[in-house]
């Protein structure tokens, strides 16, 4: 079976990171039986994420542990005459990225000329990950596009059993490397002021006579993290000595996964790093993508709703910790714009004081997700049911 994955890079690396992960997940689920092409409109973004890809190109066979994927530049499809003669059976439009007209029209026109095999049989509209209940209602709903012979379906990732599940990264996470020197944390969010973070962390470490190394990742949160850190150093010079800040350059996916798995607490954002943090089973705080009217709070609330029952196994202490975690998530995400203004109500301490409890809760949940919510396997099952 041939599968084309279509990726439109909107901003940064999340879109291509998730699409590349999907390609590998499908290869893993099919034991390498699928022939996968990945059409991306920002070759440079993909190269930054996956150094195995040349800096520039139109077509490249990219190898991974799971198998080989043919990467095509969707901005240069006219140069890919051979590829256009081999239509996919399935097109997956990641996050609604429309199939390039020249690509699809070529196949449809061929079909109309009676060359029936030269067209895709199914288009899957892959949605963004959400914990909201609508993910169950929309998953696998038909979405007919009015062109004869091509079916389109919604495929909605999610945490509920009746959704498409999660795209799991490569099979085995890197081993957890502990730093005997102290705590390891990372900050990777949208624009944000981290004054409370430094303040609480300094106090926490002072009380325990411990130290921490905080990786401030490249990207939109660095400016706010750096400014608030410099203010903290001026105000609390002595306590600041317990914290080593590392301004980390761009990390590829495997290196970032290793940091998450080996760390103690992480601030993550969007979709790709959110899933990475969850699967690492380390305490984390998620900065959801800003939505009009502060609608991201609805998505945060839905995530808390699906997470909450997993705290029950920890008894009343689990319930109490969850309430604090939930308050932190809400405060961190309550915003109408992305900026670096002060956020006086944020609290972080619960993630450090109850690190082991939160990690246990996450481990149990992740085990369940791995058994019941593998998106690659679910997508393959759906395609098999459609006799593809």
**386 touches other proteins by CB under 8 A:** no
Cβ distance to other proteins smaller for residue 2 or 330: 330
Dihedral-angle region of residue 213 (phi above 0 means left; psi in -120 to 50 means alpha; beta otherwise): beta
Among the residue ranges 52-60, 124-132, 202-210, 229-237, the one whose residues contact other proteins (CB under 8 A): 124-132
Place of tokens 């006086």: 344
**384 touches other proteins by CB under 8 A:** no
At its nearest, how many Å lie between other proteins and the CB of residue 19?
A: 14
- How far apart are alpha carbons 226 and 214 in whole angstroms? 11
First to last CA, the chain: 7
Q: Which three-class secondary structure state does DSSP give residue 338?
A: coil
At its nearest, how many Å lie between other proteins and the CB of residue 156?
A: 9
Cβ distance to other proteins smaller for residue 142 or 315: 142
Of the residues 116, 117, 134, 317, which one makes contact with other proteins according to CB under 8 A: 134
Q: Which three-class secondary structure state does DSSP give residue 290?
A: coil
Compute how many residues bind other proteins; rule: CB under 8 A.
27
CB 81 within 8 A of CB 379: no
Of the residues 298, 306, 320, 369, which one makes contact with other proteins according to CB under 8 A: 298
**143 touches other proteins by CB under 8 A:** yes
147-166 footprint of other proteins as x/- string (CB under 8 A): xx-----x------------
- How far apart are alpha carbons 94 and 92 in whole angstroms? 6
Query: Among 252, 250, 248, which Cα is nearest to 226's?
Result: 248
At its nearest, how many Å lie between other proteins and the CB of residue 299?
A: 8
Place of tokens 């799991």: 168
Q: Which three-class secondary structure state does DSSP give residue 215?
A: strand
Cβ distance to other proteins smaller for residue 252 or 301: 301
**289 touches other proteins by CB under 8 A:** yes
The secondary structure of the chain in percent helix, strand, coil, rounded to multiples of 5, reads 45, 20, 40
**146 touches other proteins by CB under 8 A:** yes
Of the residues 31, 51, 82, 142, which one makes contact with other proteins according to CB under 8 A: 142
- How far apart are alpha carbons 172 and 91 in whole angstroms? 28
At its nearest, how many Å lie between other proteins and the CB of residue 146?
A: 4
The tokens for 191 are 């624009």
The tokens for 152 are 């389109």
89-108 footprint of other proteins as x/- string (CB under 8 A): ------xx------------
Q: Which three-class secondary structure state does DSSP give residue 113?
A: coil
At its nearest, how many Å lie between other proteins and the CB of residue 131?
A: 12
Query: Among 55, 105, 98, which Cα is nearest to 78's?
Result: 105
- Binding residues vs other proteins (CB under 8 A): 10, 95-96, 125, 127-130, 132, 134, 137-138, 141-148, 154, 271, 289, 291-292, 295, 298
């Amino acid at each position: 079976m041939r599968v084309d994955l279509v990726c439109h890079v909107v901003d940064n690396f999340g879109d291509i990171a998730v699409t590349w992960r999907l390609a590998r997940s499908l290869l893993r689920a099919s034991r390498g039986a699928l022939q996968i092409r990945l059409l991306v409109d920002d070759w440079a973004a993909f190269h930054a994420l996956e150094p195995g890809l040349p800096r520039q190109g139109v077509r490249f066979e990219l190898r991974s542990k799971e198998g080989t994927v043919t990467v095509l530049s969707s901005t240069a499809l006219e140069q890919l005459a051979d590829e256009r003669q081999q239509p996919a059976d399935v097109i997956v439009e990641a996050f609604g990225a429309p199939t390039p007209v020249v690509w699809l029209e070529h196949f449809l026109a061929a079909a109309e000329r009676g060359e029936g095999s030269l067209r895709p049989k199914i288009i899957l509209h892959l949605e963004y990950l959400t914990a909201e209940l609508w993910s169950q209602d929309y998953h696998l709903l038909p979405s007919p596009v009015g062109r004869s012979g091509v079916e389109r379906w919604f495929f909605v990732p999610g945490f509920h059993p009746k959704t498409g599940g999660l795209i799991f990264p490569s099979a085995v996470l890197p081993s957890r490397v502990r730093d005997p020197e102290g705590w390891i944390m990372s900050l990777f969010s949208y624009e944000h002021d981290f004054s409370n973070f430094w303040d609480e962390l300094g106090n926490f470490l002072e009380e325990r006579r411990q130290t921490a190394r905080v990786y401030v990742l490249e990207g939109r949160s660095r400016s706010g993290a750096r400014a608030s850190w410099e203010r903290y150093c001026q105000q609390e010079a002595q306590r600041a000595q317990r914290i080593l800040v590392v301004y980390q350059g761009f990390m590829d996916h495997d290196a970032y996964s290793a940091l998450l798995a080996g760390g103690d607490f992480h601030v993550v954002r969007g979709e790709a790093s959110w899933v990475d943090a969850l699967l690492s089973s380390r305490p984390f705080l998620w900065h959801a993508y800003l939505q009009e009217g502060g609608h991201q709070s609805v998505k945060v609330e839905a995530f808390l709703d699906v997470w909450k029952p997993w705290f029950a196994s920890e008894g009343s202490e689990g319930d109490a910790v969850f309430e604090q975690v939930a308050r932190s998530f809400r405060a961190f995400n309550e915003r109408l714009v992305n900026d670096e203004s002060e956020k006086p109500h944020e609290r972080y301490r619960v993630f450090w004081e109850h690190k082991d409890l939160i990690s246990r809760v996450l481990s149990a949940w992740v085990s369940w997700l791995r058994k019941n919510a593998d998106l690659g396997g679910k997508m393959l099952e759906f395609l098999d049911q459609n006799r593809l």
